[in-house]
């Protein structure tokens, strides 16, 4: 049973979702890293994450480490990198890969107010050479110690919160940016997940919602 307080919280979160900011994970394997990444995605308003996952079965995401955010940031799985990049570019996003190459720039020098997918690689080997070739930009996080890189989830958090800072300064969190049809669908699904499943099972449209989340139309039987 939804309450007005929960309904308005859901609305406030959807109002800040960024449909043109995402991550592309290239064979990130460790469940806790995947969970931490999704937690950061939710915190900065990412609508949907993407993953190249060559293993069989579903992505293994640590439930405790996700802090319950797994259900708020779905992960679209792609069979290979070319398929993932083609999908993102079709949506108008450019690919920014985290990789310490000679042509990489400080991660804070990139304009993340533009439609952006942050590409992050596998924990031990980083992004592949194919990913480097396909990236529009390469970024690096300056390191002052002996280590050459950060944990992938930590690196993602730094880059995504820089993107959040830039987008907040540009006013992108102050306006609703989701397509109205998608917004209304997610609003109902997040507020009434059980009823949403029932409507899909019955192939019935979602009922309209009132200003405090009250259901205005008869429910399917």
d(CA 173, CA 96): 21
Does residue 95 sit in the same domain as residue 198?
no
Q: pLDDT tens-digit profile of 22-48? A: 999 998 888 889 999 999 999 999 999
Backbone angles phi, psi at 22, to 5 degrees: -155, 180
pLDDT of residue 63: 55
Does residue 210 sit in the same domain as residue 125?
no
Residue 221 falls within a domain, yes or no? Answer: no
pLDDT of residue 126: 85
In the 8-state DSSP scheme, what is residue 205?
Answer: P
pLDDT of residue 6: 94
State which residues of the chain have pLDDT below 50. Answer: 65-67
pLDDT of residue 56: 54
The model's pTM is 0.90
pLDDT of residue 124: 79
pLDDT of residue 66: 44
Residue 161 falls within a domain, yes or no? Answer: yes
Does residue 186 sit in the same domain as residue 164?
no
Does residue 39 sit in the same domain as residue 111?
yes
Which tokens hold the place of 158?
């730094």
pLDDT of residue 67: 46
Give me the domain span that covers residue 100.
18-169
The closest of 75, 35, 30 to 52, measured between CA atoms, is 75
d(CA 20, CA 45): 10
pLDDT of residue 64: 52
pLDDT of residue 60: 59
Does residue 151 sit in the same domain as residue 212?
no
Per the structure, how many domains does the chain have?
A: 2
């Amino acid at each position: 049973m939804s309450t007005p307080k929960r309904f308005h919280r859901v609305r406030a979160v959807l109002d800040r979702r960024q449909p043109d900011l995402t991550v592309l994970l290239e064979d990130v394997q460790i469940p806790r890293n995947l969970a931490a990444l999704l937690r950061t995605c939710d915190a900065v308003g990412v609508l949907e994450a993407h993953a190249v996952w060559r293993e069989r079965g579903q992505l293994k995401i640590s439930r405790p480490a996700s802090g319950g955010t797994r259900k708020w940031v779905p992960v679209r799985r792609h069979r290979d990198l070319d398929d993932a990049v083609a999908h993102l570019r079709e949506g108008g996003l450019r690919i920014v890969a985290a990789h310490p190459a000679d042509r990489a720039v400080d991660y804070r020098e990139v304009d993340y107010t533009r439609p952006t997918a942050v590409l992050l690689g596998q924990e031990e080997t980083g992004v592949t050479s194919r990913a480097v070739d396909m990236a529009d930009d390469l970024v690096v996080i300056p390191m002052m110690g002996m280590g050459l890189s950060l944990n992938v989830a930590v690196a993602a958090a730094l880059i995504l919160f820089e993107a959040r800072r830039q987008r907040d300064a540009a006013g992108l969190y102050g306006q609703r940016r989701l397509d109205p049809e998608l917004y209304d669908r997610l609003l109902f699904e997040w507020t009434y997940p059980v009823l949403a499943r029932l409507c899909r099972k019955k192939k019935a449209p979602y009922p309209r919602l009132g200003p405090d989340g009250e259901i205005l139309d008869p429910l399917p039987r």
